[in-house]
Structure 1
Amino acid sequence: MNQPFPFASIRSQFPALTQQMNDLPVIFLDNPGGTQTPAAVIAAMSDYLAHDNANRGGPFATSQRSDAIIEEAHAAVADLLHATSPDEIIFGPNMTTLTFSISRALGRDWGPGDEIIVTRLDHDANITPWVMMAADRGVTVRWADFNPDDCTLDMEGLHGLLNERTRLLAVGYASNATGTINDVATLTRWAHEVGALIFVDAVQCAPHGPLDVQALGCDLLACSAYKFFGPHLGILYGRYDLLDRLTAYKVRPAKNKPPHKFETGTQNHEGIAGALAAVNYLAQLGQADAGSSGSRRQQLQAGMEAIQRYDQVLNAAILTEMEGLPGVTVHGITDPDRLHWRVPTVSFTVAGQHPAAIAAALAERGIFVWHGNYYALAVTERLGLEEQGGMVRVGAVHYNTLDEIARLGAALRQILHAPTH
């Protein structure tokens, strides 16, 4: 399945994809750090500022339209995440800020003798907020390790850390450094068996397949709109009963019910309008399979399943291009039979060459990738790569083509003076 989408139609919706360098189209493989946005998202944000810009709760037209857009955005993201209610969706500046906020709310009830678990495979935004809360409250932090050979979570070791004192397990759905997909459903079951909550960082997973918080059974899940073709905006899902009982750090006039009590201050209204448009864009991808009369939730499921299938094609293509490159080590799953346990986010190192030099050489050729630790500091430390500049990261999404992946491979062979395929 090489052409799951009408690529000409899809790519034409993303203005950024028309950029060129040296008479060649720019290739965006920096997507794990933030995807490009379709014109519909840009228009929604511009239209909001041009016609609907107002604060909430007023008796006048612009305020009422703002209320309607923001309420619809909550409903749209609830559809995307398969939440039971729009009131389980919280918007904020970014995932990191939301995680710091919810960690403080949860930590009010914890103290000495309580334990939390974080993993070395996670982005630091799902580590440091919990570690700092634990330091404030006298809570013990347990660290779950991962296997350096394939960068998969040490499930047996993590299971052994869970006990009746565990209050929270913080884990990523997919690693932003190595692409590893974790078995969150099993981890949720294990956490709940000892009475613990589970917080899932789904930022890296969100653009790559369906998310279903009900099927996972997780208590809290965070993602970012700018990673799934929207604006810079953070999103937090929480079970309503949990959010309702928590004490939020908020001003007195703010409402006392979810999600409002956690959406502190005036929100980024134009960003929320853009997030709504991004979700509707993803639903559009599934209209052919779900039917135009299908619900948005059904269309989102179909669209994200199509993306997930194409991800496997991208995964295989990227790893094929990496094969045989001199001095190249891919850090993560490379077994063709296990690619369903990774997203097409591939990090690698080149013996004797600094990751920054490789990324710069690719940038000169119009291929945009990241280097460093991508805030997954625990990963590069565990792999012994932090002092060497981290890794080079390539990340594809559904608007990337196999021709672009082939051009990446050709550029790497040129940079590394390797023979052509």
Structure 2
Amino acid sequence: MKKHNFSVEEVRAQFPALRFKNKDQVFPVYFDGPGGTQMVQGCIDRMLEYIETGMANLHGTFSTSIKTDALLEEAKQAVADLLNCSDKEVAFGQNMTSLAYQVATSLRPLLKKGDEIVVTQLDHRANVDPWIFLAKETGATVKFIPVDREKLTLDLRGLDSIITEKTKMVAIGLSSNLTGTKNEAKHIFERAKKVNAITIADAVHAVPHFSVDFQELQSDILFCSAYKFFGPHLGIAAIKKHLFEALSFPKLQPAPNDIPYKLETGTQNHEAIAGLCGTISFIESLGTGENRRQRLQAGMKVIEAHEDKLMEELQNFLESIPEIDLYRAPKEVIKTPTFAFKIKGIHSRKATEFFAEKYNLCIADGHFYASTMAEVFPVMDTGGWIRIGFAPYNTLEEIEIFKKALKDLLHMNSRE
């Protein structure tokens, strides 16, 4: 396969937000990718094209309706190639959280009192609370795979006693939106399949950073969000065909009852779905291959290689600063370019305000909805974590700006 030459300058040129200056005429540095990336030009173009050339609802005989029907099919096939699933297994919704609650409601008939649902301490609560809700509705019990406090990974030593014959569902995040840890989801799902449990993957933080394979994971249900990988605010669900067909969702009586449409209640966000097509085309353009799946996989490899350089640079710097408490797995653990840390003696909100006001650095603070982790590592009394997360448009030069900003903050704090 021909190697694609990655140019961060060419990538940055495709993100209009990177060219926007604030009132002080300083370009922003977007280090908040895990909370949502900037939107690529191809996404914007497809959204505007759909809006400007006429919008319509589905199943009409006129041109704009026919165009919209075709758009949804195009988008589902693009997602199918991105995730390696069938286009009939792809459904759209408001966001990952809303889709998860919808799916949780549909799974209710499959559980009873005494059954068990397994979640993790490392996950975003969107892959925890819908299943806790389901357990309360059905009388099932929730069990947590604990986090290893030293390694910042899931502690799998007791996995066989956590996933048992009573286990009916196992929900795992593919990677942590807080620490960047890439979980051993495939291994956990293999154990789940031995007891015929339904497997659920939260890929929201994974899809922006590495190639996800729905089939290889042995995942029955997978969620992701387009706004985390350069696109619009749109939730995506992939559900295995045999399970999808068996599930019943609340819907209007005349609405379709076949897959994947029965999960898509009401009129969808067609302009966002158009944008999603442009977003996936951007990733595809970064790679080479005989078909779109291959090009998307290669494109993600290119993104990984660039982000690995950024990741190494920032990690080496943060580890060199005595005042930094870095919450990160050991080097041998595969991670995304996402860093959670605290600064000794400085409230996290005060730090991010300084970064924003003095250097126009977009860096977030808080618990990032990984609130169980904020209980395991009690951090909220000083504002939670500071989080830096990279996207393919970030640069080594931007990291140098952060280095200066942090040193200035530490110097200022030492004088107070």
Q: Does the alignment reach a TM-score above 0.5?
A: yes
Cα separation, 2, equivalents of 1:104 and 1:69: 29
Aligned-partner residue type, residue 394 of structure 1: I
1:329 and 2:325 matched:
yes
Match of 2:254 in 1: 253
Aligned-partner residue type, residue 231 of structure 1: P
Match of 1:15 in 2: 16
Match of 1:373 in 2: 367
Conserved? CA contact 1:179–1:342, under 8 Å: yes
Conserved? CA contact 2:46–2:275, under 8 Å: yes
CA positional deviation for 1:154: 0.7
Of 391, 395, 403, the residue aligned with 1:401 is 395
Conserved? CA contact 1:149–1:331, under 8 Å: no
CA positional deviation for 1:7: 1.7
Q: Secondary structure, in 3 states, of the residue corresponding to 1:156?
A: coil
Match of 1:186 in 2: 187
* Structure 2 counterparts to residues 95-174 of structure 1, below 5 A: 95-174=96-175
- Runs (5+) with no aligned partner, structure 1: none
* Structure 2 counterparts to residues 306-345 of structure 1, below 5 A: 306-333=302-329, 335-338=330-333, 341-345=334-338
Of 11, 24, 32, the residue aligned with 1:30 is 32
Match of 1:80 in 2: 82
Cα separation, 2, equivalents of 1:258 and 1:388: 47
Conserved? CA contact 2:117–2:140, under 8 Å: yes
Match of 1:355 in 2: 348
1:81-137 CA-to-partner distances (Å, cap 9, x unmatched) read: 011x10100100000000001011112221101110111101011111110111011
1:300-332 CA-to-partner distances (Å, cap 9, x unmatched) read: 011011112222212111111212223211112
Conserved? CA contact 1:145–1:157, under 8 Å: no
1:265-309 CA-to-partner distances (Å, cap 9, x unmatched) read: 1100001111111111110111xx32xxx3111110110111122
Q: Secondary structure, in 3 states, of the residue corresponding to 2:110?
A: coil
- Decide which moves more: 310-319 or 372-381: 310-319
1:363-417 CA-to-partner distances (Å, cap 9, x unmatched) read: 1111101100111111111111133321000000111111111211221111112
Match of 1:383 in 2: 377
CA positional deviation for 1:4: 5.6
Conserved? CA contact 1:149–1:332, under 8 Å: no
Aligned-partner residue type, residue 192 of structure 2: A
1:244-268 CA-to-partner distances (Å, cap 9, x unmatched) read: 0111121111111111000111100
- Runs (5+) with no aligned partner, structure 2: none
Cα separation, 1, equivalents of 2:34 and 2:18: 16
Cα separation, 2, equivalents of 1:20 and 1:161: 51
Cα separation, 1, equivalents of 2:291 and 2:257: 31
Conserved? CA contact 2:199–2:218, under 8 Å: no
- Decide which moves more: 3-12 or 179-188: 3-12
Conserved? CA contact 1:326–1:416, under 8 Å: no
Cα separation, 2, equivalents of 1:346 and 1:41: 27
Cα separation, 2, equivalents of 1:184 and 1:337: 17
Cα separation, 2, equivalents of 1:388 and 1:136: 36
Conserved? CA contact 2:234–2:273, under 8 Å: yes
Conserved? CA contact 1:321–1:406, under 8 Å: no
Cα separation, 2, equivalents of 1:311 and 1:268: 31
Cα separation, 2, equivalents of 1:169 and 1:263: 24
TM-score (normalised: structure 1): 0.94
Cα separation, 2, equivalents of 1:152 and 1:65: 46
Cα separation, 1, equivalents of 2:166 and 2:238: 25
Match of 2:301 in 1: 305
Match of 1:198 in 2: 199
Residues 310, 100 of structure 1: CA spacing in aligned structure 2 closer, same or farther, 3 A cutoff? same
CA positional deviation for 1:23: 4.4
Cα separation, 2, equivalents of 1:368 and 1:343: 18
Conserved? CA contact 2:108–2:134, under 8 Å: yes
Cα separation, 2, equivalents of 1:344 and 1:74: 28
Conserved? CA contact 1:191–1:197, under 8 Å: yes
CA positional deviation for 1:52: 3.3
CA positional deviation for 1:25: 2.3
- Decide which moves more: 403-412 or 170-179: 403-412
Q: Secondary structure, in 3 states, of the residue corresponding to 2:53?
A: helix
1:155-198 CA-to-partner distances (Å, cap 9, x unmatched) read: 12334201001000111001111111101111110110111111
Cα separation, 2, equivalents of 1:20 and 1:4: 29
Cα separation, 1, equivalents of 2:348 and 2:20: 25
Conserved? CA contact 1:4–1:310, under 8 Å: no
Cα separation, 2, equivalents of 1:392 and 1:55: 43
Conserved? CA contact 2:319–2:326, under 8 Å: no
Match of 2:71 in 1: 69
State percent identity of aligned pairs. Answer: 39
Conserved? CA contact 2:116–2:142, under 8 Å: yes
Match of 1:60 in 2: 62
Cα separation, 2, equivalents of 1:157 and 1:233: 36
Residues matched between the structures, number? 407
Aligned-partner residue type, residue 299 of structure 2: G
- Structure 1 moving runs of 4+ over 6 Å: none
Q: Secondary structure, in 3 states, of the residue corresponding to 1:204?
A: coil
Q: Secondary structure, in 3 states, of the residue corresponding to 1:252?
A: coil
